[in-house]
Amino acid sequence: MATVKDPSTSSPRTERLNVRLTPDALATLKEAAARQQQDMTSFVLGAALDRARSILLEESVMRLTPAQARQLEESLLIPPEENVNLARLFQRVQGYGS
């Protein structure tokens, strides 16, 4: 599995994100950030990145029913048919540098 850098800490923070929100929403965020002993920027950025990663992971996972999983497994066990044109191409390429 590839290592993913944390974009919130791996490079200088040079970009900005402006958000308009209601006074109640701001109060909620401030209270939650205080309870986590974080400043607003760290709290909001951390929450947004956690949600973004979750969405991206969810979108990259293939879900199969048990029947679909069996069908996929069976399909992968079938040896591929020989592709004559591809075999000829490999023979030509191997002979090219000789």
pLDDT interval class at 28 (50, 70, 90): very high
C-alpha dihedral (56, 18, 31, 45), degrees to nearest 10: 30
* Mean pLDDT computed over 46-52: 97
| pLDDT exceeds 50 at position 1 | no
Give this prediction's pTM.
0.55
C-alpha span between 25 and 47 (Å, rounded): 14
